[in-house]
Structure 1
Amino acid sequence: MSRTLRAVLFDLDGTLIHSLPDLAAAVNRLLASENRPALADEVIRAMVGDGADMLVARAFAATGGLPGPEVRPYLDRFMADYEPRSAETTRPWPEVEETLAALRARGLALAVCTNKPSRATAEVLAVLDLARFFDVVVGADDAPAIKPDPAHVLVILDRLGVTPDQALMVGDSRNDIVSARAAGVRSVALSFGYAHGPVEDLGADIVLHRFGDLLGVV
């Protein structure tokens, strides 16, 4: 990786943290409140990554359709339940904390670029004691558009004061890699996250199988 690297941007769910169990539990509590059957974690895993509204809409679509005309009331109920319980079983992936600490020690700026709503993002980062590593955190409602729109990445670069060629995006899904490429940012895809299909097909510049291996490419 270029010596001009000044910043590393990270997706959250599936990249920094294994959050699927808490997300699945909240989805199934919402479905149960509407007398819908529960969905398996792996089914819900394929619905994660495009924002909470899409997660809720997809869960209802898989169980008979949205009960009402709009997703918003169900999204609000989902978030009210999920936010205070978003880190009950969610944990960082192995090697995340020590790798982030090492990147900070190298003088790199670190940021979170996530389609997760901002309040839930802040809750998870605080409970898991990860917030201390990041200079900028931009959730779904902090950006003009969410990934795969490059605006999500570009607003972070602007806040950090770095150019696209000075940054690296680390993610686990198509949205992460597409938004990085559209913003002119190099990308790393992690193979252990929540990609919808083979991670090698995402088009990232580098594919890694352990989080700690990131130290060898920056």
Structure 2
Amino acid sequence: MKMYKCCIFDLDGTLINSIKAIAYSCNLTLRKYNLGPIDEDTYKILIGDGYKKLIERALIHCGDTNLENYEDALITYMEYFKIHCMHEVKAYDGIYDMLDFLKNNNIKIAVLSNKPHAQTVENVDKIFGCGYFDRIAGEKSNIKRKPNPEGAIITANDLDVNPCECLYIGDTNTDMKTGISAGMDSVGVTWGYRDRKELEDFNPKYVIDHPSEIVDIIKSTVLVSN
């Protein structure tokens, strides 16, 4: 029977609901060019592949199909996001209990996000506390962003676990592709920004509706404490 030793989590839409911070920062950016605003539900479709792709998609959505404002908008967005990345950000219900269970049972926990690294660390540290996770990694220039599996594999190596001993947990097709390509069992979560069909279309090992189901998965594979 497979024994999982590590859980690697996507951040936005998986551990935390940060859609308001992203939407607020991006709409401030769009306003500079007399574009937008875009509603939060639309942002749930636009995000997931890093801020550069977010800005590209947002500009096109608002009619800037030639991306005339793209380069300036990248700079403007990051200026706003550095200030507002914690705007109404909160952990999803059940996340704290699930993470505590993993830590109490010696399951290593990590975050791998396409959000810029500094803001990834800020979100995680302010929501969960400094040093709570074994590893935190956001987007960095020297590591290919998801769905490339490089970041997930580096995370497993740094934590001295085999990729096949890891669960990769996320809320988008990008996450499902990342985990599978890294040789990990992928877990799609339905409480995030995408629907069950999108997740199932990419054949994850599990699709779950509540963080407590991660506890169930671990309990089914390892001997854990009460």
Equivalent residues in 2 for 1:6-17, closer than 5 Å: 6-17=5-16
Give the match's secondary structure for 1:99.
helix
What is the TM-score with the length of structure 1 in the denominator? 0.93
Q: Which residue of 2 aligns with 1:212?
A: 212
1:31 Cα shift? 0.8
Counterpart-to-counterpart distance in 1, 2:83 and 2:172: 26
Q: CA-to-partner distance for each residue in 1:132-174, whole Å, 9 max, x for gaps?
A: 3311111111652011101121111111111111111011111
Counterpart-to-counterpart distance in 2, 1:56 and 1:179: 22
Q: Structure 1 residues 110 and 79 mapped into 2: Cα distance closer, same or farther (>3 Å)? A: same
| Contact 1:172 1:194 (C-alpha < 8 Å) held by counterparts | yes
| Contact 1:100 1:133 (C-alpha < 8 Å) held by counterparts | no
Q: Which residue of 1 aligns with 2:143?
A: 144
Equivalent residues in 2 for 1:176-187, closer than 5 Å: 176-187=175-186
Percent identical residues: 25
Equivalent residues in 2 for 1:64-75, closer than 5 Å: 64-65=63-64, 69=68, 71-75=70-74
Counterpart-to-counterpart distance in 2, 1:76 and 1:36: 16
What is the TM-score with the length of structure 2 in the denominator? 0.90
Structure 2 runs not aligned, ≥5 long: 219-226
Which AA in structure 2 matches 1:76? I
| Contact 1:99 1:211 (C-alpha < 8 Å) held by counterparts | yes
Runs of 4+ in 1 over 4 A off after TM superposition: 66-70
| Contact 1:143 1:151 (C-alpha < 8 Å) held by counterparts | no
| Contact 1:189 1:208 (C-alpha < 8 Å) held by counterparts | yes
| Contact 2:33 2:69 (C-alpha < 8 Å) held by counterparts | no
- CA-based RMSD of the aligned residues comes to 1.8
Give the match's secondary structure for 2:169.
strand
Q: Which residue of 2 aligns with 1:42?
A: 41
| Contact 1:170 1:176 (C-alpha < 8 Å) held by counterparts | yes
1:131 Cα shift? 4.3
1:202 Cα shift? 2.9
Counterpart-to-counterpart distance in 2, 1:129 and 1:184: 28
| Contact 1:53 1:72 (C-alpha < 8 Å) held by counterparts | no
Counterpart-to-counterpart distance in 2, 1:59 and 1:196: 20
Equivalent pairs, count: 217
